[in-house]
């Protein structure tokens, strides 16, 4: 089973409220310069957060600021280059990760800062089969695949046997009993079984995780997964993720520790 990634939520700006704020502090010309397409809100939000720090909507609002960058790409490149990463924490993307193993999710929870996680619970979800990802090199080994497939089929059969043994599909079985037995049954599933989760992270966190989890020393499946995450984000917000150099699957940013 191939790990899949979809972006299911992204930043959305209320431009009327932004305009009302700027009418009070000045700087309406900044809002007039912006593109307001669906995929622009992430970059616009990062720029908004950065400009409020210095009141740099336009020259003269801050007596210390005589010149401002009017090109968004240049502005955000300067944010990255100066490691002003706190403004990137306002920009969140939410992903649904499908068909990823618990090997991956056990590693992913180590990245706690700036994230939110809701994962499929095998205490409640009973396994009918054991979806599994095999890397290319494993699939090329005929004997390995034969033995691995036989083992997975045996474990799947044991899941079905336990469900019958515990009468989980009989009429009137309390859900509390189903939950207890299902929780026991998951102990006989391999760590490589595919699962799903919703994962939300801000841009500052995403930049760090993409670099660390696509690096050559990272676990193979998580490298595959975050290569896909990075591909999506490079299209969603090129000014925030366009500084990476990709070599042999490793995404290395021009500016680290933002």
Q: Is 180 domain-assigned?
A: yes
Q: Is 166 domain-assigned?
A: yes
C-alpha distances in Å from residue 198, one per residue of 93, 96, 112, 186: 11, 5, 14, 20
Per-residue confidence (pLDDT) for residue 230, from 0 to 100: 98
**85 and 140 within one domain:** no
φ and ψ of 188, to 5 deg: -105, 20
Total number of domains in the chain: 2
Model-level pTM?
0.92
- Given 126, 204, 213, 223, the catalytic residue: 213
Per-residue confidence (pLDDT) for residue 94, from 0 to 100: 98
Q: Is 163 domain-assigned?
A: yes
Tens-digit pLDDT profile for residues 32-65: 888 888 789 999 999 999 999 999 998 888 888 8
Tens-digit pLDDT profile for residues 203-222: 999 999 999 999 999 999 99
Domain boundary residue among 57, 89, 121?
89
Q: Is 94 domain-assigned?
A: no
Q: Is 79 domain-assigned?
A: yes
Domain boundary residue among 58, 74, 89?
89
Going by C-beta distance under 8 Å and a sequence separation of 6 or more, which residues neighbour residue 132? 1, 101, 152, 190, 192, 193, 194
Please give the residue range of the domain that contains residue 62: 11-89
Q: Is 18 domain-assigned?
A: yes
Q: Is 151 domain-assigned?
A: yes
**146 and 77 within one domain:** no
Q: Is 51 domain-assigned?
A: yes
The yes-or-no answer on residue 187 being catalytic is: no
Mapped onto helix, strand or coil, the DSSP state of residue 109 is coil
Tens-digit pLDDT profile for residues 142-166: 999 999 999 999 999 999 999 999 9
């Amino acid at each position: 089973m191939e790990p899949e990634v979809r972006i299911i939520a992204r930043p959305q700006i209320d431009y009327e409220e932004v305009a009302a704020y700027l009418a009070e502090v000045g700087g309406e010309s900044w809002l007039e310069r912006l593109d307001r397409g669906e995929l622009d809100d992430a970059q616009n939000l990062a720029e908004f957060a950065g400009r409020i720090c210095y009141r740099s909507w336009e020259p003269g609002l801050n007596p210390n600021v005589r010149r401002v960058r009017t090109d968004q790409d240049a502005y955000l490149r300067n944010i990255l280059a100066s490691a002003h990463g706190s403004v990137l924490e306002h920009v969140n993307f939410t992903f649904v990760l499908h068909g990823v193993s618990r090997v991956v999710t056990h590693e992913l929870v180590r990245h706690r800062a700036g994230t939110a996680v809701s994962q499929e619970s095998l205490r409640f979800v009973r396994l009918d089969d054991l979806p599994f990802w095999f890397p290319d090199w494993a699939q090329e080994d005929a004997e390995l695949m034969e033995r691995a497939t036989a083992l997975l089929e045996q474990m799947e059969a044991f899941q079905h046997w336990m469900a019958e043994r515990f009468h989980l599909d009989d009429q009137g079985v309390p859900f509390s009993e189903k939950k207890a037995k299902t929780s026991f049954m998951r102990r006989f599933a391999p760590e490589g079984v595919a699962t799903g989760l919703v994962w939300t992270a801000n841009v500052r966190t995403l930049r760090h995780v993409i670099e660390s989890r696509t690096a050559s020393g990272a676990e193979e499946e998580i490298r595959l997964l975050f290569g896909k995450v990075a591909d999506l984000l490079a299209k969603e917000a090129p000014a925030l993720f366009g500084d990476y150099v990709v070599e042999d699957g490793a995404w290395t940013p021009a500016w680290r520790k933002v």
